[in-house]
A and B are shown apart, each in its own frame.
Chain A
Amino acid sequence: MEKQPMSEAMYYVLLALMQPDHGYGIMGHIRELTGGRVVMGPGTLYGILTRLRAEGFITLKEESDRKKTYEITQAGRDALISEYRRLKRMVSDGDILEEVQ
């Protein structure tokens, strides 16, 4: 079966976790990275962190008080790079649109 494309939210969370970070830090990082275009809610982020952890794309780096710091795993890096390449190819395939415009 073909792999499902990654959601936008998952893509950005993995991207943000190229540097280990905790939940609120991830949200800030994504906002900064997208120039405020993507404002991730805490419900969405918690759901994605839980799912990515279950799929082995991220792992718990450290835990203090009520905060957990996550980092991306090798499987997560591979999935992210694979998605990046897919998106890049899709954009390049769409070059024809430049001529239409």
Chain B
Amino acid sequence: MERRYAFQPGDYAIGENEKFYSDMAERGWSLMKRGRWLSRFKRVKPEKTIYRIELASPRIFEDKGLPEEKLSLFEDCGWEFVTSYDLINVFRAPDGSGAPEFYMEPEQQAETLRGLRRSYLSGIAFALAIIVVYTLIFAAMSGGINEFLSSFWEEMLVAAVEETAMLALCTLIIAYGVWQSLYGAVRTAILYKRLRRGEPLDHSPKNRRIGHKVISGALLCLCAVSAALCLVQYIGVDRYKLPQVSDGPYITLEELGWKGERDDPFGNEQEVRVSTSILAEHWDVNEYLLDGDGGVWIYQDIYRLRYPGMCTDLAQAIMCSATFSDMENFVPISIEGADAAWYTRLETVAVCDEYVIYITYSPGTIEENAMEDAARAVGAIISRVTL
């Protein structure tokens, strides 16, 4: 049996869906099943068929299917039940069969839109509730709404640099969902008002809604491009065991003069991870060394930005979302070769040309020398990147 799938109009477009299925039947494709986005058809002899949609309008937690009695009534009138998905129930009858329209008055049909309207509005309300709850939880953890919003945008900037395509994909998916929900809610509300005013449903609308199609198509294309870029970035990630001598713009503890055996007490692999996003190349290096009585460790995040103008913003964002300190604890320090540098206990951030360097370094020395040690480590990295 020859089959095909086709994208169907949205649930809010009742008349467009009816026309879509009728047109397919006239071209020899009979509807078999409706899904979330796609409908399945089978090849048949082309024939004129009338399709009609009846919306279920269940209460909350009620079954979304039509009651048996209602189905039986529709079938007794000559309508064949074809398929249903969510609130949409599709019926058909051969053209000229005399099967009566579902409703005598548009006002009666308007009432069936309540469930669909509720479904769009509850979707939007649910999304808003999640955003509000998320904001409140993190605001409480950050010490206030302003602090949360500030750290949120800083975190987003770091994410945009490290995972540009992934962030773009997530944003576009959310934008597409919000756009579809808002558009569906507005179209349903307009249709409801028209029916309430006594304007009958147009079962064969001519308006092609070009604006909506262009925006939806553009968002979907951008999603596809972002997904492809994500895949390219994911495949392009290079992870390898940390060599004894640095092979990139990072430094090893041995090159800083430490001797000892590499051994991470947390069991993490001591490795180099190199990834390339649309905005930057990123080296992520972790190293832990057992030296005498204690341990020495260094975490390095080194970014090479395609747009050096972003360096200072990224450095600020890194300080804002630093692991061990708050932004206000960082103090400017001078490091040879660096355009700017900031230090706080354990963490140092520096900007040098198109590079942003962020190290978390515990040299195991007494507090007074820690800043000099950190500056020396960053200086060694700068020497490598400016070679």
B109 contacts A by Cβ under 8 Å: yes
Task: Provide the bound-state CA to CA distance between A24 and B103, in Å.
Answer: 14
Q: Contacts A23-B76, A24-B76 known; A42 to B100 CB distance under 8 Å?
A: yes
B79 contacts A by Cβ under 8 Å: yes
Q: Enumerate chain A residues within 8 angstroms of B103, measured Cβ to Cβ.
A: 41, 43-44
Q: Enumerate chain B residues within 8 angstroms of A45, measured Cβ to Cβ.
A: 73
B64-72, B155-163, B348-356: which one contacts chain A?
B64-72
Whole-angstrom distance from the CB of B91 to the nearest CB of chain A?
9
Task: Provide the bound-state CA to CA distance between A67 and B76, in Å.
Answer: 10
A84 contacts B by Cβ under 8 Å: no
User: Contact at A66–B68, with CB atoms within 8 Å?
Assistant: yes
A89 contacts B by Cβ under 8 Å: no
Interface 1/0s, chain B 214-244, versus A by CB < 8 A? 0000000000000000000000000000000
Q: Enumerate chain B residues within 8 angstroms of A66, measured Cβ to Cβ.
A: 68-69, 71-72
Whole-angstrom distance from the CB of B74 to the nearest CB of chain A?
5
User: Contact at A44–B105, with CB atoms within 8 Å?
Assistant: yes
A52 contacts B by Cβ under 8 Å: no
Give the interface size class of chain B. Answer: 20 to 34
Task: Provide the bound-state CA to CA distance between A46 and B112, in Å.
Answer: 12
Q: Enumerate chain A residues within 8 angstroms of B74, measured Cβ to Cβ.
A: 42-43
Interface 1/0s, chain A 17-42, versus B by CB < 8 A? 00000011001000000000011111
User: Contact at B101–A41, with CB atoms within 8 Å?
Assistant: yes
Q: Enumerate chain B residues within 8 angstroms of A43, measured Cβ to Cβ.
A: 54, 74, 102-103, 108-109, 112
The binding surface of chain A is classed by DSSP as helix
Taking each of A24, A43, A46, A65, which has the highest tally of chain B beta carbons within 10 Å of its own beta carbon?
A43
**Which B residue's beta carbon lies closest to that of A31?**
B100
Task: Provide the bound-state CA to CA distance between A41 and B108, in Å.
Answer: 10
Q: Enumerate chain B residues within 8 angstroms of A94, measured Cβ to Cβ.
A: none
**How many A residues touch B, CB cutoff 8 Å?**
18
User: Contact at A42–B79, with CB atoms within 8 Å?
Assistant: yes
Q: Enumerate chain A residues within 8 angstroms of B76, measured Cβ to Cβ.
A: 23-24, 42
User: Contact at B111–A47, with CB atoms within 8 Å?
Assistant: yes
B104 contacts A by Cβ under 8 Å: yes
A61 contacts B by Cβ under 8 Å: no
User: Contact at A41–B102, with CB atoms within 8 Å?
Assistant: yes
B333 contacts A by Cβ under 8 Å: no
A86 contacts B by Cβ under 8 Å: no
Within 8 A of A (CB), among B183-224: none
Task: Provide the bound-state CA to CA distance between A40 and B105, in Å.
Answer: 10
Q: Enumerate chain A residues within 8 angstroms of B104, measured Cβ to Cβ.
A: 9, 38-41, 44
A85 contacts B by Cβ under 8 Å: no
Within 8 A of A (CB), among B64-92: 68-74, 76-77, 79
Q: Enumerate chain A residues within 8 angstroms of B100, measured Cβ to Cβ.
A: 27, 39-42
Q: Enumerate chain B residues within 8 angstroms of A44, measured Cβ to Cβ.
A: 102-105, 108
Task: Provide the bound-state CA to CA distance between A45 and B102, in Å.
Answer: 9
Task: Provide the bound-state CA to CA distance between A49 and B72, in Å.
Answer: 14
Interface 1/0s, chain B 110-145, versus A by CB < 8 A? 011000000000000000000000000000000000
Task: Provide the bound-state CA to CA distance between A47 and B70, in Å.
Answer: 9
Contacting residue for B70 out of A27, A38, A46, CB 8 A? A46
Whole-angstrom distance from the CB of A16 to the nearest CB of chain B?
14
**Which B residue's beta carbon lies closest to that of A7?**
B105
Task: Provide the bound-state CA to CA distance between A97 and B103, in Å.
Answer: 33
Q: Enumerate chain A residues within 8 angstroms of B105, measured Cβ to Cβ.
A: 9, 44
User: Contact at A23–B108, with CB atoms within 8 Å?
Assistant: no
Task: Provide the bound-state CA to CA distance between A58 and B119, in Å.
Answer: 32
| Top 6 A-B residue pairs of the complex, sorted by shortest distance between their CB atoms | A43-B102, A66-B72, A24-B76, A23-B73, A42-B73, A41-B102
A-B contact pairs, 10 of them (CB 8 A): A23-B76, A38-B104, A39-B100, A39-B104, A41-B100, A41-B101, A42-B70, A42-B74, A47-B108, A67-B72
